[in-house]
Structure 1
């Protein structure tokens, strides 16, 4: 992949401009190999893990080559196993299509079908959806796929595991037979191979990205769930409490690096940035200062950080989530070197949480949750630090030249008050941010619960929410995403009330059956 850029892959200027805005400096492995093949019009079987940049790998070429239908028919359909992934793909496609005149609509269960029907009656070019909802819209004759140019099956093996294969085959039979089919899957079980053989062109290209063993055993990994508006303040709080000696902070874009460096410098941090738009001399000088420990913090993009080889980096902080799992591993591998322990922190919003869990799965590591520090936490950390420094100073005779000043102050003030005033001055100087709220951390964390009921049992989101409220005495705010499938359902419940919900709802009747619930795995 060395020296390959997005400019080499064949995209038009609108797509390249959008990718530039997204901040991606070079393609991931799957993007570099798959994009040119899709742009040439071949069917593709792409075998790669989740978290490798697949959405851009298929979304970029589709938006690049899409011919808008003159009669209002959908031109591309993307099938994905879960509501969360449908939303995630939709959001990414919107960014890729920023300068292209393309309309995109996500459709999935748990959201009003009437609203989706209304949207589909307008000109929609790309539909991203879960198989159950897509098939429902086809049966209602609202979603017509006879003009489809592109069909994407994303996470095909996961859709097989969730029992969607029959639905997928019915959807594929509704599509234009001359379409371009793109199938992405981490594994290729026999049923998926059968679909590929039966529904894809004979000259389909099979592109497999070999999965490297991605582990980082010497690095303690943590994440902070934050609100987007509090991202910078959350970083300041973490740095004020941890007081790391040498840290690399990663941003996704070059613009993000510049903005974060400016904000940190304004708060008094000893920090500089590195990214691809800076001259080679500038980057070398910055790296030299960092290696010689004349900089406390280095803010960088993934590409700019490739040449960084510094042994004493105590912390790596993902200010933004990386594009893929491989980038995450490369980032946090900058700490924990030379048999030393390292610490990696990642800031995520609730919407980014599922991506982080997929990274955790791919790396076979454990990324533990930490709470964003409160003002009380910051005060306690700074207090311990100041007391420790005072004790060290008292062991040295150098402070005694100021004894006469202390004696003068003793005539007018209590020396306890004088000491407190001096500590206050040190504390205010060390605090980097004008904190007002004690706690800004995201208070809602959810766990996923599985129920063996679904659409075939006539379950709907409203009846499920009412069941939880009446049976477990919880509020609507305690209930997160609901994914209702044909035979079973997943629902996110606030971890504060999850155990209570399990206890109070189990054994009660829902849809005419006794409720059996269990905690779901990460999927």
Structure 2
């Protein structure tokens, strides 16, 4: 590995990358930066999470003249989230050189963007559609662009942006330098490169080497009607710091996030139908840790670069093997380990084998955890929390209350009750231990017959885990009592729709 000082960077950029905590270049950075600084066109085949933003951002910013008021660099991205994240990273890289980057994307008021453009940014990071809008309005002119980057090019093509990309590239002077990054290299990408790039150098970083090396990959064979309860058990047993749950459709994401909140987890969903302000709010809370579970579709999660994600759960197996690699690549970053768990129905086992072939990695089969296992883990967590409070907190104000309680109750019973409350032992445990389901649960539980997961996707009587509430999520002040309604999930028929 090379250090950034060895790659021929200017002092302001060396200062920036050190300030950002970078020490050694990743493989994609080590190979791309020298070629880009020489002015060569580059095709980089690399997954998200390999450091490719800095791979193109560092040479882009080094080559920009800070004294000019023209837009000199364009980065095209498939999604609004990725545009914002790339712009944030470029602003950090350019902070000591005085290079300003502006994200331009649909969903934000165009008048606001026009006002921001009057401040003369050096670089624009844009989604193709919104950039075309500004080109038509002549609020962005491309005649002084000397470098253009296509990020997640395969995804832009999948989303139907190929004509927009060609139109944009035709408007940029031919003397430009072009860098293209893509996880896959389908024929359309090759045609685009042949048409718009000059003798590009190809850099290929194998996904299996950089994306899944630090990730433990497991799968559970789970009937469709049991998926939600199994997810809740895993969340309780594994206690992730930050987790992403992937659903196949927008409606699936909405239903899952709502059901998780009813069971006491702090969860929010993200997909293409959310307003930009809502998406920004959800991502900010997730990065800060006030939301512990992010539920997302594939498209909404493309390009998300969030440190600290410890677990990825594929509630629905992805439609194609490459999407699987993208999903699990959200964890196990920066040398840290991660865990990816995939739920597979019996009819999907063959699809799982295709994923194993692509990643050249055996995915380990795990048994479905029992409710008792989940309870035992929660009991241990409750004890650890109680001991930590004893060691670290000031309990003086509570000692008088405790002394009063001990006048009527012995200490063992009192402590047992406190542990039971902290464990939030689910009613399902009664069924599992005795084989008898309770007819009614006290509290705001909805109809007394709402127990199991019915054939059409609603919790009904007799099914698994319908009254299991789970734990109180971190940072979540909502009551747990509504949890018995459970997950009104889409049926297995609906889950095949790729509504993202």
- TM-score under structure 1 length normalisation: 0.49
Query: Alpha carbons of 1:421 and 1:383: their partners in 2 closer, same or farther (altered >3 Å)?
Result: farther
Aligned to 1:108: 105
Report the CA distance between 1:443 and its aligned residue.
9.1
Equivalent residue in structure 1 for 2:379, among 360, 381, 402:
381
Equivalent residue in structure 1 for 2:59, among 43, 54, 61:
61
- Which structure's relative contact order is higher, taking Cα pairs within 8 Å and 6+ residues apart? 2
CA RMSD of aligned residues (A): 4.8
Equivalent residue in structure 1 for 2:207, among 189, 211, 231:
211
* Unmatched runs of 5 consecutive residues or more in structure 1: 235-250, 254-323, 334-342, 346-360, 367-376, 390-412, 428-437, 445-494, 504-516
Report the CA distance between 1:180 and its aligned residue.
0.9
Aligned to 1:50: 48
Alignment of 1:430-445 (within 5 A): 440-441=474-475
Counterpart-to-counterpart distance in 1, 2:476 and 2:156:
31
Alignment of 1:166-185 (within 5 A): 166-185=163-182
The answer to whether the 8 Å contact 2:28/2:55 transfers is: yes
User: Alignment length, in residue pairs?
Assistant: 307
Query: Alpha carbons of 1:113 and 1:49: their partners in 2 closer, same or farther (altered >3 Å)?
Result: same
Report the CA distance between 1:150 and its aligned residue.
0.8
Aligned to 1:23: 21
The answer to whether the 8 Å contact 2:216/2:340 transfers is: no
Per-residue CA distance 1:349-383 (angstroms, 9 max, x = gap):
xxxxxxxxxxxx989989xxxxxxxxxx9996359
Q: Tell me the secondary structure at the aligned position of residue 87 of structure 2.
A: helix
- The answer to whether the aligner puts 1:79 opposite 2:69 as a matched pair is no
- The answer to whether the aligner puts 1:417 opposite 2:413 as a matched pair is no
Query: Alpha carbons of 1:378 and 1:414: their partners in 2 closer, same or farther (altered >3 Å)?
Result: farther
Query: Alpha carbons of 1:231 and 1:157: their partners in 2 closer, same or farther (altered >3 Å)?
Result: closer
Counterpart-to-counterpart distance in 2, 1:384 and 1:28:
41
Report the CA distance between 1:416 and its aligned residue.
4.4
Counterpart-to-counterpart distance in 2, 1:162 and 1:67:
34
Alignment of 1:115-514 (within 5 A): 115-202=112-199, 204-212=200-208, 214=212, 216-217=216-217, 222=240, 223-224=242-243, 227=285, 231=289, 328=333, 330-332=335-337, 381=379, 385=383, 416-419=409-412, 440-441=474-475
Q: Tell me the secondary structure at the aligned position of residue 331 of structure 1.
A: coil
Aligned to 1:280: none
Report the CA distance between 1:418 and its aligned residue.
4.2
Q: Tell me the secondary structure at the aligned position of residue 8 of structure 2.
A: coil
Q: Tell me the secondary structure at the aligned position of residue 178 of structure 2.
A: strand
Per-residue CA distance 1:417-461 (angstroms, 9 max, x = gap):
34467889999xxxxxxxxxx7544699xxxxxxxxxxxxxxxxx
Counterpart-to-counterpart distance in 1, 2:75 and 2:106:
15
Q: Tell me the secondary structure at the aligned position of residue 216 of structure 1.
A: strand
The answer to whether the 8 Å contact 1:332/1:344 transfers is: no
Per-residue CA distance 1:161-202 (angstroms, 9 max, x = gap):
111111111111111211111111112222222221221123
The answer to whether the 8 Å contact 1:69/1:147 transfers is: no
Report the CA distance between 1:100 and its aligned residue.
1.9
Q: Tell me the secondary structure at the aligned position of residue 212 of structure 1.
A: helix
Counterpart-to-counterpart distance in 2, 1:166 and 1:229:
35
The answer to whether the 8 Å contact 2:49/2:333 transfers is: no
The answer to whether the 8 Å contact 2:218/2:363 transfers is: no
Per-residue CA distance 1:219-278 (angstroms, 9 max, x = gap):
9875447736964998xxxxxxxxxxxxxxxx979xxxxxxxxxxxxxxxxxxxxxxxxx
Structure 1 or 2, whichever has the larger Rg, is 1
The answer to whether the 8 Å contact 1:230/1:440 transfers is: no
Counterpart-to-counterpart distance in 1, 2:287 and 2:87:
22
Report the CA distance between 1:46 and its aligned residue.
0.9
Report the CA distance between 1:152 and its aligned residue.
0.6
- TM-score under structure 2 length normalisation: 0.51
Counterpart-to-counterpart distance in 2, 1:229 and 1:45:
31
Counterpart-to-counterpart distance in 2, 1:231 and 1:140:
40
Q: Tell me the secondary structure at the aligned position of residue 127 of structure 1.
A: strand
Counterpart-to-counterpart distance in 2, 1:228 and 1:156:
27
Report the CA distance between 1:106 and its aligned residue.
0.8
Report the CA distance between 1:80 and its aligned residue.
0.9
Query: Alpha carbons of 1:497 and 1:78: their partners in 2 closer, same or farther (altered >3 Å)?
Result: farther
Per-residue CA distance 1:97-139 (angstroms, 9 max, x = gap):
2212111111111111111122223311100001111111111
Query: Alpha carbons of 1:31 and 1:379: their partners in 2 closer, same or farther (altered >3 Å)?
Result: closer
* Unmatched runs of 5 consecutive residues or more in structure 2: 220-233, 245-265, 267-284, 293-305, 309-328, 342-357, 365-374, 388-405, 421-471, 479-485
The answer to whether the 8 Å contact 1:52/1:326 transfers is: no
Counterpart-to-counterpart distance in 2, 1:95 and 1:151:
19
Counterpart-to-counterpart distance in 1, 2:336 and 2:116:
41
